[in-house]
């Protein structure tokens, strides 16, 4: 009975994802621009690189953010974020020279969000045409297009989050059913009567 209970517990834990220990949160290892550094030329992309892969769920980049704020309090990123392994990137068109700030948020490999902020200096080269920035954080054009096409035949907007929530409910229900089966088997094993001795054995 003990062996059966152990096997069932291991199987249940594997299915429910309880056996793996939680890992530590991701942390920043490098960035463009560098923390506290000075830019003298506009990079092709701004990036945040961490010590471990990032948790990108369904390719939606949900939970990720990369903002570039100028000395005037305006936003200069394009609103689009690309996640690739341990890195997150975006593009930005900076304004006038001055002190800028990067605000970022990622989803760690362990599922927890991590966010931070750092400053850098922008020293624009001669002849540079500064961008105007925006008063509110910009929204990626791809995200706007996806939001506009997310309607069913009746004209009611659909949400990817609803599908995710439904999947989570089904997974949770499956876990409950599995746990119930484990308990039922253990109870049956415990209540099974011990075999009685054959009275004819004593006569021998």
Which pLDDT tens digit goes with each residue over 111-166? 999 999 999 999 999 999 999 999 999 999 876 666 665 544 433 333 344 444 44
Higher pLDDT, 23 or 81: 81
Q: Provide the pLDDT for residue 56.
A: 82
With a pLDDT cut of 90, the percent of the chain lying above it is: 53
The residues near 125 (Cβ < 8 Å, ≥ 6 apart) are 40, 41
Between CA 204 and CA 114 the distance in angstroms is 76
Q: Provide the pLDDT for residue 24.
A: 83
Q: Provide the pLDDT for residue 74.
A: 98
Per CATH, which fold does 25-139 belong to?
Immunoglobulin-like (2.60.40)
Q: Provide the pLDDT for residue 143.
A: 67
Burial 27-45 (b: 16+ CB within 10 A, else e): eeeebbbeeeeebeeeeee
Q: Mean pLDDT over residues 67-75, rounded? A: 98
Please say if the pLDDT value at position 9 is more than 90: no
């Amino acid at each position: 009975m003990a062996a059966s209970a152990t096997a069932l517990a291991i199987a249940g834990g594997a299915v429910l994802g309880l056996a793996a220990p939680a890992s530590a949160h991701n942390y920043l290892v490098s960035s463009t621009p560098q923390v506290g550094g000075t830019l003298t030329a506009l990079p092709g992309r701004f990036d945040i690189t961490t010590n471990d892969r990032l948790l990108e769920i369904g390719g939606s980049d949900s939970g990720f953010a990369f903002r570039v704020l100028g000395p005037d309090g305006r936003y200069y990123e394009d609103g689009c974020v690309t996640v690739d392994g341990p890195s997150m990137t975006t593009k930005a068109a900076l304004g006038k020279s001055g002190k800028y700030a990067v605000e970022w948020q990622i989803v760690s490999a362990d599922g927890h969000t991590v966010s931070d902020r750092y400053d850098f200096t922008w020293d624009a080269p001669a002849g540079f045409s500064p961008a105007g920035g925006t008063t509110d954080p910009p929204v990626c054009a791809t995200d706007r297009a996806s939001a506009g096409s997310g309607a069913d035949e009746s004209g009611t907007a659909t949400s990817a989050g609803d599908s995710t929530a439904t999947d989570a409910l089904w997974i949770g229900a499956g876990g409950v059913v599995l746990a119930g089966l484990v308990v039922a088997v253990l109870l049956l094993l415990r209540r099974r009567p011990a075999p009685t001795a054959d009275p004819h054995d004593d006569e021998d």
